[in-house]
């Protein structure tokens, strides 16, 4: 009985080993299945849709005021009064500043007095000449006497004209000594103080700036000048609508139009100047800051579009088929900063891989982790 125990133990051990060997192949298959799932590339997809797409050009330029002028009198003198301050809104024709006009007013009074004397002399000379003309017609006086009176009349007329010109000059000097706003706007800077002596012929006032007394700007409508390459200039025309974006107002767009398109390129840069005008009624757009001009040059309606990042090497995309990445060669149409029109290679409703597509191979297993909008 004791001899049979080792035999029984041997048989039981063999049976256990057989059972283990028979169960081993299914475990290998399960491991392989897990390995395949673990090797799938995570991707995000975009559903191919039909929508409007526009090809756009982007240019950056500096915002400038529509009008800007340095307020400077036409005559020199000492600044007597400045009526406005920086940042103040002014209307067209409003008094801004004036020079000390006491000497000019005295000159005007002197010129007006001289004009009165000249007018009296002229009236007297005219009366004498008219009387002499009648006597000469009646042959009561000689020709020499007539010519002498006529000469006096002509001299008095010339003196009257000279006196009138002196009055006009004094009035003009007085007018230009009083500085008024040529247009409505905002005082951008105050360049002088009361008591400074300004001489427009020397380019400024005595302390040393050539900026006049005040700087007036109107930026209720602004302009931006940009330089356009020769390849893009045929796509731009006068009157074309534009969009302006500025960093100071993120998410806000300002509509404008192309006002100027230069016909000749700059000899040095070989680029063409383009000027865009944009309304700025709330004065949010400030001169001297940067802005981006966007021009829509061509638009297609109901175009099949995919995100830019879905296009690889400008030749192909990957779409999803049965859990794998399938390569599709594509022909491209219009493009902008985010989307591309696809003329052939994909169909509406296809799931195009937009993220995780770099390095993929045709037929590679994938795992969709989400969708992207563009």
CATH code at position 80: 2.40.50.100
- Take residue 199 and report the two structure tokens written for it: 């001489």
> Would you say residue 151 lies in a domain?
yes
Q: What is the CATH number of the domain that holds 137?
A: 1.10.287.470
Number of domains in the chain: 4
Question: Alpha helix (H) ranges present in the chain?
Answer: 4-38, 102-137, 143-177
Q: Kindly state whether residues 95 and 186 are assigned to the same domain.
A: yes
Q: Kindly state whether residues 224 and 184 are assigned to the same domain.
A: no
Of the candidates 263, 103, 118, 286, the one whose C-alpha atom is nearest the C-alpha of residue 197 is 103
Q: Kindly state whether residues 234 and 282 are assigned to the same domain.
A: yes
Task: List, for residues 313-331, the tens digit of each pLDDT value.
Answer: 989 999 999 999 999 999 9
Q: How far is it, in rounded angstroms, from Cα 184 to Cα 133?
A: 58
pLDDT of residue 202: 60
With tokens 């139009």, the residue in question is 257
Q: Kindly state whether residues 188 and 317 are assigned to the same domain.
A: no
Sequence length of the chain is 374
> Phi and psi for 188 in degrees, rounded to 5?
-80, -35
Of the candidates 271, 265, 261, 333, the one whose C-alpha atom is nearest the C-alpha of residue 295 is 261
pLDDT of residue 76: 84
> Would you say residue 93 lies in a domain?
yes
> With contact defined as beta carbons under 8 Å apart, do 41 and 325 qualify?
yes
Q: Kindly state whether residues 286 and 233 are assigned to the same domain.
A: yes
> Would you say residue 32 lies in a domain?
no
Q: Kindly state whether residues 330 and 365 are assigned to the same domain.
A: yes
Beta bridge pairs of residue 64: 223
Q: Kindly state whether residues 106 and 203 are assigned to the same domain.
A: no
> Would you say residue 1 lies in a domain?
no
Dihedral (Cα; 54, 57, 63, 67), 10-degree rounding: -80
Percent of the chain residues topping a pLDDT of 70: 87
Task: List, for residues 97-149, the tens digit of each pLDDT value.
Answer: 999 988 889 999 999 999 999 999 999 999 998 998 888 888 888 888 888 98
Q: How far is it, in rounded angstroms, from Cα 7 to Cα 1?
A: 11
Q: Kindly state whether residues 228 and 288 are assigned to the same domain.
A: yes
Q: Which of 299, 320, 350 is the last residue of a domain?
A: 299
Q: How far is it, in rounded angstroms, from Cα 266 to Cα 270?
A: 5
Adjacency order of strands within the sheet including 41-47 = 324-329, 316-321, 351-355, 41-47, 366-371
- Take residue 38 and report the two structure tokens written for it: 């673990």
pLDDT of residue 35: 43
pTM for the model: 0.60
Q: Kindly state whether residues 117 and 149 are assigned to the same domain.
A: yes
Name the residue range of residue 227's domain: 59-64+218-299
Q: Kindly state whether residues 293 and 366 are assigned to the same domain.
A: no
Q: Kindly state whether residues 242 and 305 are assigned to the same domain.
A: no
pLDDT of residue 203: 52
Cβ of 29: how many Cβ atoms within 10 Å?
Answer: 9
> Would you say residue 157 lies in a domain?
yes
Q: What is the CATH number of the domain that holds 336?
A: 2.40.420.20
Q: How far is it, in rounded angstroms, from Cα 234 to Cα 133?
A: 76
> Would you say residue 6 lies in a domain?
no
Task: List, for residues 340-361, the tens digit of each pLDDT value.
Answer: 999 999 999 999 999 999 989 9
Q: Kindly state whether residues 277 and 319 are assigned to the same domain.
A: no
Q: What is the CATH number of the domain that holds 263?
A: 2.40.30.170
* Average confidence (pLDDT) per 10 residues, the chain, 374 residues: 48 50 48 53 92 88 93 88 94 94 91 95 92 87 88 93 94 90 93 87 48 90 93 90 91 93 92 95 91 89 92 93 93 88 92 92 92 82
pLDDT of residue 9: 53
Q: How far is it, in rounded angstroms, from Cα 70 to Cα 79?
A: 15
pLDDT of residue 211: 66
102-137 and 143-177 are packed helices; what angle lies between their axes, rounded to 10 degrees? 160
Count CA atoms closer than 13 A to 57's CA, side-chain side.
Answer: 20
């Amino acid at each position: 009985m004791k001899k049979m125990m080792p035999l029984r133990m041997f048989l039981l051990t063999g049976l256990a080993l057989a059972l283990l060997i028979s169960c081993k192949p299914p475990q290998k298959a399960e491991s392989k299945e897990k390995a395949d799932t673990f090797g799938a590339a995570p991707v995000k997809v975009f559903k191919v849709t039909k929508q409007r797409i526009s090809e756009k050009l982007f240019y950056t330029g500096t915002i400038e005021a529509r009008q800007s002028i340095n307020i400077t009198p036409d005559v020199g003198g000492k600044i007597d009064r400045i009526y406005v301050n920086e940042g103040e809104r002014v209307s067209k024709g409003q008094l801004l500043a004036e020079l000390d006009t006491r000497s000019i007013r005295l000159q005007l009074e002197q010129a007006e007095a001289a004009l009165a004397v000249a007018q009296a002399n002229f009236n007297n000379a005219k009366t004498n000449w008219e009387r002499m003309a009648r006597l000469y017609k009646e042959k009561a006086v000689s020709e020499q006497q007539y010519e002498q009176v006529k000469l006096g009349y002509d001299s008095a007329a010339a003196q009257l004209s000279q006196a009138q010109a002196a009055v006009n000059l004094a009035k003009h000097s007085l007018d230009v000594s009083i500085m008024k706003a040529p247009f409505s706007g905002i005082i951008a800077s105050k360049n002088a103080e009361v008591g400074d002596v300004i001489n427009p012929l020397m380019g400024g006032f005595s302390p040393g700036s050539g900026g006049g007394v005040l700087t007036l700007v109107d930026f209720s409508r602004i302009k931006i000048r940009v330089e356009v390459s020769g390849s893009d200039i045929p796509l731009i025309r006068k009157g074309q609508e534009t969009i302006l974006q500025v960093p100071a107002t993120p998410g806000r767009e300002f509509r404008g139009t192309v006002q100027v398109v230069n016909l000749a390129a700059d000899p040095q840069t070989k680029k063409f100047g383009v000027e865009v005008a944009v309304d700025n009624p709330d004065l949010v757009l400030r001169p001297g800051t940067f802005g981006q001009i966007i021009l829509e040059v061509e638009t297609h309606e109901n175009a099949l579009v995919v995100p830019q990042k879905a296009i690889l090497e400008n030749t192909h995309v990957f779409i999803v088929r049965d859990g794998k990445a399938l390569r599709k060669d594509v022909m491209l149409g219009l493009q902008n900063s985010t989307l591309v029109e696809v003329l052939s290679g994909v169909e509406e409703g296809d799931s195009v891989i937009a993220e995780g597509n770099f390095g993929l191979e045709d037929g590679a297993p994938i795992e969709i982790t989400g969708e992207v909008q563009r």
